Chains A and B, each alone.
Chain A
Amino acid sequence: MTTPSPAVRVTDLGVRYGTRVALHAVDFEVPRGQFVALTGPNGSGKTTLIRSLLGFLTPDAGTVELFGTPVGRLSIRERARQVAWVPQEEVLRDDVPLRQYVLYGRYPHHHPLDRETEADHALASRILQEVGLADRADDGILSISGGERQRAILARALAQETPLLLLDEPTSHLDIAHQLDLLTRVRMLSRLRGVTVVAALHDLNLAARYADRIVVLSRGRRVADGTPRDVLSEDLLARVWGVAAELAIDARSGLPYLLPRSLITETRPAPSALAPGPVHVVGGGGAGAPILRALTEEGYRVTAGALHLLDTDAETADSLGVVAAVEAPFAPLSPDTRARHRVLLGEARAIIVAPFAVGPSNLANLEDLLPFARATPVIVLEPSPGTRLDFSEGAATRARDDLRSAGATFVADVPAAVREVARVLAGTLRESTTLPAQG
């Protein structure tokens, strides 16, 4: 016996709008009964993929099959019996009673001269009940709230009684309560009736919470696909969205969720294409903040690390758009954070060490820095006299001595540090302008 064909099978799909590639070589299969969330940044191709599944677009390459039949081979009416669509919003102009509006969904099941039957009316009543609008059946669709209207649109789509339901950002105009309400209902209906659901959702956390599977699109390509647990990662958010985020596991549901922290500067307008840098600042506890501000002001590209979340330096870095390796509050630096810090240190053209207090939780900052001190100019700010910085039983003092012997420059204040950076980078800038650019 052969297995039933999947609800959706997309093979090597390519769609172009003029010269812009909207989808490129997308392969994508949805088994019957699955709830798939389609996600990705704006313009990643989610809506294009949904519209391809609806047969609204003629692909430039590849095929789209619904339940084993190419979508282009289905008539519009047949298609409407296979797949229903909940758009982001509907421009509704006429104040149609809700029941009538839901009955519109029966159209593909009728012949041109048929009237709605008792069975249609019973179905409409049942669906209105399922979406929680039974008591509004006789109200006009323009008189209900936005959240109710989105449920009404869902009801109209459900009235088509299709085995496949497509939702295109169905929650983007809803408040959080209505978002949860709508997606809970969709998932429940999917479970109860075995309806296959493909929903474009730009909110990753919502996607993780409701979908069996998450498919991530980026610039028209499928870049990740799997269970929420497999797909959600800080790396994904950084790569695809350009956002620094933290991944956590919700203790209650056991599902992963992402806490976005800052935009990664790649997407920000750089001070200039030739902006010197990056200059890396090692700090903490607010000691690095004046340096970060001064360097940003001067137009350098600046990075920072490893900082603790909620600490003044981390907040400053965030607000200035400075890329930073960040650790959870008060925790010792994890191997992961240290690795990210080392990447930033390795990219730096100059490193400034702020006069920051060093304890066991951040001693690793200085330890990680040392290997780079031989290749990269390091500028160390002296603490103001009488300030105690070493809370690490001498380890921090030893590390500073090691820096001195590795050739680090010691300066007294922030302006002096900035002048030193300018001097050091002027040399490297001349070098880099005379050298051919490297791939």
Chain B
Amino acid sequence: MAPPWGRWVLGILLVVGGGLLIVFSALLGAVDIPVRLGLQILLNEISGGRLFPQSCAGTGTSAARCPVYTFIVWNLYLPEVLLALIVGAALGLAGGSLQGVFRNPLADPFLLGISSGGTLGAAIFYVYRVGVANADLYLPVFAFVGAVSTGLLILAVARGRYSSVETLLLTGVALANLLSAILSLVLLYNPTGSEQVTFWLLGGLGLADWQVDGIAFGTVLALGTLLCLYGRELNLLQLGSDVAQSAGVDAAAVRLRVILLASLITAVAVAFTGIIGFVGLVSPHIVRRIAGTDYRIVIPGSAAIGALFLLSARDISYLAFPGSLLPLGIFTAFAGVPFFLYLLYRQRRSAPMGGP
């Protein structure tokens, strides 16, 4: 059992560590930004020009280059950082709530194939859009449809009487493979769209700008808030559907709504950054380890940890391979796969896990 002071540790860790990480990340990117210059630019932009009328004063940067640096920090790095935070939070929220619904610590939107469903939806839109005026609006809709239908399919399988962890995960793997086969077929016949689609398959922050961030933030905030309201019901669902129902939880309705919300929030992540795996798997475990198994804490906690996890992945990419941002799915997989195997191994040795 996690220590009783774990929640405070988690809170302090997130506020202090998270704050420092965000500032550090905003100065990190393809081009090196001197720390003092970067901080002045940030403070100046945030304060609307009141704190440092001359962002670059005293940093040895010429006035001519100042707008370039300002543009880099404010319009390239910061949106990228914020999108990493938003998408990481979305994936953490999806993972935390899916693990609760499926009563299964190996649930994750990526492993269950929900991300692949979203990607297929996005790809189909990209390949077949014919004269659609409002691309920014329709792309997420297609991703939603793909992700949500995959989520519901998984739910149907998971509700089968004899479903186990293995059934659930294998179904996810099988579905993901089927979806990627369909995707390959679509791309084979429509080679023109394949370049953009590759972006989704690898997952990255390349679309980040203030507008994308704004849309992503709004939807993730709304969906995430709704998910956080189900903490109490998810706590009771851990005791089994029957017990939960005897205690007043409409288990079937809660399950459907949470999976729907988790699929939608996954779709947001997929629509803007493509497939990024394992964030949803790892984050809830970290929260549970530190702050206990109360889902009222696990879900928002997973959002915070997921945000910092994905941001760290971005930073590690820049630090390890300076000059350009590699697809983030690579880094989350490096961290997530060993963790997944560890969980699988530990679970094999301890009690078997039931279906929902």
Q: List chain A positions with a Cβ less than 8 A from chain B.
A: 54, 56, 76-77, 79-81, 83-85, 87, 90-97, 100, 104-105, 107-108, 110, 112-113, 138, 140, 142-143, 156-157, 160
Q: Do B247 and A90 touch (CB < 8 A)?
A: no
Interface string of B282-296 (1 = CB under 8 A from A): 000000000011100
CA distance in complex: A67, B242 (Å): 22
Partner of A80, one of B103, B248, B293, B294: B248
Partner of B248, one of A81, A92, A96, A100: A81
Q: Do A105 and B247 touch (CB < 8 A)?
A: yes
Q: Do B246 and A93 touch (CB < 8 A)?
A: no
Minimal beta-carbon separation of A219 from chain B (angstroms): 24
Q: Do B240 and A91 touch (CB < 8 A)?
A: yes
Minimal beta-carbon separation of B287 from chain A (angstroms): 13
A-B interface pairs (CB < 8 A), number: 73
Is B250's CB within 8 Å of the partner chain A?
A: yes
Partner of A87, one of B238, B242, B250: B242
Minimal beta-carbon separation of B326 from chain A (angstroms): 37
Is B353's CB within 8 Å of the partner chain A?
A: yes
Is B156's CB within 8 Å of the partner chain A?
A: no
Minimal beta-carbon separation of A226 from chain B (angstroms): 29
Partner of B250, one of A76, A83, A113, A142: A76
Residues of A within 8 A of B294 (CB): 96, 100
Is B245's CB within 8 Å of the partner chain A?
A: yes
CA distance in complex: A140, B243 (Å): 19
List, sorted by A's number, 22 A–B pairs whose CB atoms are closer than 8 Å. A56-B242, A56-B245, A76-B248, A76-B249, A77-B248, A80-B246, A80-B248, A81-B248, A87-B240, A90-B243, A91-B240, A92-B238, A93-B351, A94-B238, A96-B294, A100-B294, A104-B236, A107-B232, A107-B247, A107-B249, A108-B247, A113-B229
Q: Closest A-chain residue to B233, C-beta based?
A: A107
Most buried by A among B229, B240, B354: B240
Residues of B within 8 A of A105 (CB): 247
Q: Closest B-chain residue to A156, C-beta based?
A: B247
Residues of B within 8 A of A93 (CB): 103, 238, 351, 353
Q: Do B235 and A104 touch (CB < 8 A)?
A: yes
Residues of B within 8 A of A83 (CB): 246
CA distance in complex: A105, B236 (Å): 9
Residues of B within 8 A of A160 (CB): 247-248
Residues from 187 to 231 in B contacting A, C-beta threshold 8 Å: 229
Is B137's CB within 8 Å of the partner chain A?
A: no
Q: Do B229 and A91 touch (CB < 8 A)?
A: no
Minimal beta-carbon separation of B350 from chain A (angstroms): 10
Residues of B within 8 A of A110 (CB): 232
Residues of B within 8 A of A143 (CB): 1
Residues of A within 8 A of B250 (CB): 76-77
Minimal beta-carbon separation of B163 from chain A (angstroms): 14
Q: List chain B positions with a Cβ less than 8 A from chain A.
A: 1, 4, 103, 229, 232, 235-236, 238-240, 242-243, 245-250, 292-294, 351, 353-354
CA distance in complex: A37, B158 (Å): 36
Q: Do B1 and A140 touch (CB < 8 A)?
A: yes
Minimal beta-carbon separation of A359 from chain B (angstroms): 61
Partner of B246, one of A85, A91, A94, A95: A85
Residues of A within 8 A of B238 (CB): 92-94
Minimal beta-carbon separation of A54 from chain B (angstroms): 6
Minimal beta-carbon separation of A17 from chain B (angstroms): 12
Minimal beta-carbon separation of A110 from chain B (angstroms): 8
Residues of B within 8 A of A85 (CB): 242-243, 246
CA distance in complex: A100, B1 (Å): 13
Minimal beta-carbon separation of B248 from chain A (angstroms): 3
Minimal beta-carbon separation of B230 from chain A (angstroms): 9
Q: Closest A-chain residue to B351, C-beta based?
A: A93
Partner of A107, one of B1, B236, B292, B353: B236
6 closest Cβ contacts across the A-B interface? A80-B248, A108-B248, A94-B293, A85-B246, A140-B1, A95-B1
Q: Closest B-chain residue to A141, C-beta based?
A: B1
Q: Closest A-chain residue to B230, C-beta based?
A: A112
Residues of B within 8 A of A76 (CB): 245, 248-250
Q: Do B239 and A84 touch (CB < 8 A)?
A: no
Residues of A within 8 A of B240 (CB): 87, 90-91
Residues of B within 8 A of A81 (CB): 248
CA distance in complex: A107, B250 (Å): 11
Residues of A within 8 A of B293 (CB): 94-96
Minimal beta-carbon separation of A109 from chain B (angstroms): 8
Q: Do B239 and A90 touch (CB < 8 A)?
A: yes
Residues of B within 8 A of A113 (CB): 229
Minimal beta-carbon separation of B299 from chain A (angstroms): 14
Residues of B within 8 A of A100 (CB): 294
CA distance in complex: A27, B297 (Å): 47
Known: A91-B354, A104-B235, A107-B236. A97 touches B248 (CB 8 A): no
Minimal beta-carbon separation of A161 from chain B (angstroms): 12
Q: Do A87 and B247 touch (CB < 8 A)?
A: no
CA distance in complex: A84, B236 (Å): 14
Residues of A within 8 A of B246 (CB): 54, 80, 83-85, 157
| 14 further A-B pairs in the complex, CB-CB below 8 A; given A56-B242, A104-B239 | A54-B242, A76-B248, A76-B249, A77-B250, A79-B248, A80-B247, A85-B246, A93-B238, A93-B351, A96-B294, A97-B1, A112-B229, A157-B246, A160-B247
Minimal beta-carbon separation of B352 from chain A (angstroms): 10
Residues of B within 8 A of A79 (CB): 248
CA distance in complex: A257, B294 (Å): 46
Residues of B within 8 A of A108 (CB): 247-248
Minimal beta-carbon separation of A411 from chain B (angstroms): 61
Residues of A within 8 A of B354 (CB): 91
